């Protein structure tokens, strides 16, 4: 029996006896009734069986091909739920939700009709009223799946309030893995509400981020990627969320961060944060006093002019700082967000930003993400890098690349740079250079040599795409269906199920791009030699 490895043999025996008795007794019952519940209690007390053991066995029996066994197992799960065993109430709610999604195609197991759903909801409501976050979260999920998303806002808010109120106790509570997501109602709430109220969805995720929840960071980063340039507040919140999510292992956040750093120039802190202009230092004030003392003795007129100039400078500084404070207040930026902006702006030069992009992509590739391998091959193929739009340039053979390739983007960005602008000197970090012309246009600069250009790394990352495709083909040929079986065939590429699942969806597109890159760059892809295998050609380029 499945429970024998986790419970005492005496408990297994009692559970077995209980199930044998009730299977015969309840086999003719069509649905739950108070009489069924009464009989359940009598036999439970007689055998001294624990509802948890009964429920865990019934979770497997309910999937039986035998209609009788499946029906009785469902009745027993309902009885356990009526006896305030929370896992039974949760499983019934989840089962009804899954049954509703799968529809008439579902064949195995009983039908979870509306009567069962109502009973489960009533039991869940009792648990939620006693402070159960899991029950409140599932109620909100069930409302979301059966009604308009707006109707679920109140249940989600209750679940989130309970999670905040009982946070410490919830962290210590042992929860079955299948219910783990119910600990964090803000994540699913944001996913559901996003389609009808993005502002409210962001509010839910901010609650999770305040609790340093990695899932909240990841969802915020993914949902707001397209909106990050809507205003400075959302941009900084996205940057903070994406960075923390990527550092916690979110591959998609890491790739999004890499594209951000490769395709954008450093944040203009003056424009974003409107920092105060500092008062003159003590040394500068001393120099001013000495200067005025000298002018007092030599020229009263020059003394008055200089005194007025110093007073005007101080008045201008105070006026500017007043306006800056108003602008900061309008944006709602706090000190933490200012520090996020300063961190982003610390990557000033194109080389700095490409290095940051490569670091994030390497993190994603460490989880065997195939798209990261393709992006790394592209960045290492560039002889010149630019202040922005590096990932938007066309793939080119190194001999055809110039420091003016950035002109390729001009048709899409003419409103920012003007028509056919003159390319300025590249920014290497040795001196401050303006980012805009006097008329407010952005300055377009020539490319600067890419210190990360490497033909060997290009080959290695393109080979990684080929290896991923071979792994997917091996798994398909082996007929592996479950993740465990797939890992038995290709352990490396199926180490992380979510990444592998995404790779399966995009591998053919990535392989087509990898072939195009190899053709354009003129590189052949070889399988490295091993003790048991000679070097093998993975792909012979069709280009130069």
68-77, 181-190, 384-393: range with lowest mean pLDDT: 68-77
pLDDT given at position 531: 53
pLDDT at 4 over 70: no
Mean pLDDT of the chain: 86
Cα separation, 472 vs 456, in Å, equals 25
Contact at 8 Å (CB) between 151 and 105?
no
- 518-536 pLDDT, tens per residue? 999 999 998 775 555 567 7
Contacts 24+ apart (CB under 8 A), 126-129: 126/84, 127/84, 127/86, 127/89, 128/158, 128/159, 128/162
pLDDT band at 107 (very low <50, low <70, confident <90, very high): very low
Measured between alpha carbons, how far is 503 from 375 in angstroms, rounded to an integer?
14
Classify residue 328 as exposed, middle or buried by CB count within 10 Å of its CB (0-12, 13-18, 19+): middle
What predicted TM-score, i.e. pTM, was given to this entire model?
0.71
Is 50 exceeded by the pLDDT of residue 95? Answer: yes
CA–CA gap between residue 520 and residue 516 (Å, rounded) = 6
pLDDT of residue 1: 34
The answer to whether 368 touches 503, Cβ cutoff 8 Å, is yes
Question: What integer pLDDT is reported at residue 111 of this predicted model?
Answer: 58
Note whether 393 and 409 are within 8 A (CB).
yes
Dihedral (Cα; 205, 210, 213, 216), 10-degree rounding = 20
- pLDDT surpassing 80 at residue 316: yes
Nearest of 279, 235, 273, 272 to residue 257 by alpha carbon: 235
> Which residues on adjacent β-strands are paired with residue 539?
525
State the Cα–Cα distance between residues 128 and 123, nearest whole angstrom: 9
Q: Is the dihedral of CA 190, 191, 193, 195 positive or negative?
A: positive
**Model pLDDT for residues 222-277, shown as the tens digit of each residue:** 888 888 877 888 888 899 999 999 998 889 899 999 999 999 988 877 767 777 77
Percent of the chain surpassing pLDDT 70: 93
C-alpha dist (Å) from residue 53 to 48, 132, 249, 403, 475: 11, 21, 36, 70, 37
Place 63 in a pLDDT band, splitting at 50, 70 and 90. confident
């Amino acid at each position: 029996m499945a429970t024998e490895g986790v419970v005492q043999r005496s408990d297994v025996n009692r559970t077995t006896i209980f199930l044998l008795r009730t299977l015969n007794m309840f086999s003719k019952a069509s649905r739950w009734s108070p009489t069924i519940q009464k009989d359940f209690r009598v036999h439970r007390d007689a055998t001294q069986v624990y509802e948890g053991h009964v429920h865990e066995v019934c979770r497997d029996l309910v999937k039986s091909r035998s209609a009788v066994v499946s029906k009785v197992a469902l009745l027993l799960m309902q009885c356990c739920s009526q006896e305030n065993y929370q896992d039974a109430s949760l499983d019934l709610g989840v089962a009804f939700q899954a049954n509703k999604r799968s529809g008439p195609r579902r064949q195995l197991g009983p039908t979870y009709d509306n009567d069962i759903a109502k009973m489960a909801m009533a039991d869940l409501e009792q648990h939620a009223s006693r402070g159960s976050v899991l029950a409140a979260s599932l109620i909100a999920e069930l409302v979301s799946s059966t009604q308009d998303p707006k109707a679920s806002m109140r249940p989600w808010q209750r679940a989130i309030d309970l999670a905040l109120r009982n946070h410490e106790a919830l962290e210590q509570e042992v929860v079955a893995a299948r219910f783990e997501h119910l600990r964090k109602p803000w994540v699913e709430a944001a996913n559901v509400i996003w389609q009808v109220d993005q502002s409210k969805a962001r509010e839910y995720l901010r609650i999770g981020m305040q609790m340093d929840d990695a899932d909240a960071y990841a969802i915020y980063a993914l949902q707001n990627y397209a909106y990050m340039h809507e205003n400075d507040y959302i941009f900084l919140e996205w940057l903070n969320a994406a960075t923390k999510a990527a550092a916690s292992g979110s591959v998609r956040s890491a790739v999004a961060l890499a594209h951000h750093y490769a395709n954008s120039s450093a944040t203009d802190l003056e424009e974003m944060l409107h920092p105060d202009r500092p008062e003159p230092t003590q040394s500068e004030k001393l120099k001013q006093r000495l200067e005025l003392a000298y002018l007092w003795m030599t020229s009263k007129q020059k003394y008055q002019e200089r005194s007025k100039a110093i007073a005007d400078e101080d008045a201008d500084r105070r006026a500017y700082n007043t306006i800056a404070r108003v602008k900061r207040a309008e944006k709602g930026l706090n000190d933490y967000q200012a520090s996020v902006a300063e961190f982003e702006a610390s990557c000033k030069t194109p080389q700095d930003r490409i290095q940051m992009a490569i670091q994030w992509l390497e993190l994603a590739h460490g989880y065997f993400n195939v798209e990261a391998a393709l992006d790394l091959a592209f960045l290492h193929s560039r002889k010149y890098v630019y202040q922005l739009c590096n990932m938007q340039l066309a793939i080119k053979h190194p001999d055809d690349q110039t420091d003016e390739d950035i002109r390729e983007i001009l048709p899409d960005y003419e409103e920012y740079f003007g028509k056919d602008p003159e390319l300025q000197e590249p920014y290497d970090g040795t001196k401050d250079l303006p980012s805009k012309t006097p008329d407010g246009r952005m300055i377009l600069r020539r490319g600067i040599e890419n210190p990360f250009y490497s033909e060997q790394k290009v080959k290695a990352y393109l080979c990684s795409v080929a290896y991923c495709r071979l792994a997917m083909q091996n798994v398909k040929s082996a007929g592996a269906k479950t993740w465990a079986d797939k890992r038995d065939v290709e352990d490396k590429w199926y180490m992380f199920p979510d990444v592998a699942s995404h790779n399966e969806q995009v591998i053919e597109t990535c392989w087509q791009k990898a072939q195009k890159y190899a053709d354009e760059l003129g590189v052949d892809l070889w399988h490295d030699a091993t003790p048991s295998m000679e070097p093998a050609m993975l792909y012979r380029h069709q280009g130069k």
